[in-house]
């Protein structure tokens, strides 16, 4: 497939991502009972953000689910996952398959990101997580005209960080809860669907009403702190840097401690939370 992007758009291959293909007459019911997102209503060409959790509710795999174009329920979906976890995800899905009539296989369609324009070109699906993230494409060829030269995945990661959206480097593998990583705010959890793996813990955290920990970007004067660096509020530990790069830093924060005193690093430098617009209503007050 050839795609053309208008002037001003930015295009980058996401080499850190890989794909699996899921098909068969029972694929919807099978996947519905596993992931945090509703797939019963997933339409052809629609992209949804999701996760597969441990039974204890921790994040194992972040996923994008793309409804296949076609006429019937057997067309299945494409699963966009971290390339480093593709094999482990495939084995995990096969473990849960039992006697379900589904087929799961590596597809390895190239994953692309496109941002900087309002409407999706043909063949692209809107990234559902936050406004401005743009679109994702699968199995496309590079555009022939109209795209800023020299873009790579680092440029896309900088764009994502500028919008305050955490990524796999922030939540890790079997380390964080999806609500701490803002999956509930980014459209990655459907609390109205039926059961899924890890639902009990996830639903309980949401029902409590007060969520103590959230991931958010932070701003620091001078060199950015390294991943793992502690963040202080007065004398109390208020969080930890989860990822850091030239593009910015993301942190897991203790929301209930942010008002306990000056926000500083261990070296005394000040830091502040750079709340993204899509998150401000959740943390106001």
d(CA 125, CA 230): 38
Residue 82 has what pLDDT? Answer: 97
DSSP string, 151-199: --HHHHHHHHHHTT---HHHHTTTTS-TTTTTTTTTT---TTS---TTH
Output Rg (C-alpha) for the chain, integer angstroms. 20
Residue 145 has what pLDDT? Answer: 40
118 contacts: CB under 8 Å, gap ≥ 6: none
Domains, the chain, with CATH or none: 10-168 (3.30.1360.120), 212-285 (2.40.30.110)
Residue 71 has what pLDDT? Answer: 40
**Which tokens go with 146?**
């109209």
**Which tokens go with 237?**
């530990």
- Report the chain (285 residues): mean pLDDT per 10 consecutive residues: 54 94 95 97 96 97 90 75 97 94 93 88 91 91 50 91 96 95 97 94 85 95 94 97 94 95 95 94 71
């Amino acid at each position: 497939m050839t795609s053309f992007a208008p002037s001003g758009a930015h295009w980058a291959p996401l080499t850190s991502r890989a794909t699996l293909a899921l098909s068969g007459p029972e694929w919807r019911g099978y996947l519905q009972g596993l992931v945090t997102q509703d797939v019963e209503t997933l339409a052809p060409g629609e992209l949804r953000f999701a996760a597969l959790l441990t039974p204890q509710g921790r994040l194992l795999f972040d996923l994008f689910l793309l409804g296949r174009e076609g006429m019937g329920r057997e067309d299945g979906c494409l699963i966009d996952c971290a390339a480093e976890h593709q094999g482990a995800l495939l084995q995990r899905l096969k473990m849960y398959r039992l006697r379900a009539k589904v087929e799961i296989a590596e597809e390895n369609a190239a994953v692309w990101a496109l941002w900087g324009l309002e409407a999706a070109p043909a063949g692209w699906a809107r990234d559902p997580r936050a406004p401005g993230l743009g679109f994702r494409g699968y199995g496309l060829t590079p555009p022939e005209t109209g795209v800023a030269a020299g873009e790579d995945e680092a440029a896309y990661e900088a764009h994502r960080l500028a919008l305050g959206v955490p990524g796999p480097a922030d939540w890790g593998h079997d380390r964080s809860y999806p609500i701490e990583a803002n999956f509930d705010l980014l459209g990655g959890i459907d609390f109205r669907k039926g059961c899924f793996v890890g639902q009990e813990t996830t639903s309980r955290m949401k029902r409590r009403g007060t969520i103590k920990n959230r991931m958010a970007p932070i701003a620091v004067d001078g060199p950015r702190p390294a991943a793992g660096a502690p963040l202080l509020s007065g004398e109390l530990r208020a969080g930890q840097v989860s990822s850091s790069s030239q593009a910015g830093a993301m942190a897991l924060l203790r929301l209930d401690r942010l008002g306990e005193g000056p926000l500083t690093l261990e070296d005394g430098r000040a830091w502040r939370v750079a709340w993204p617009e899509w998150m401000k209503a959740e943390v106001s007050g």
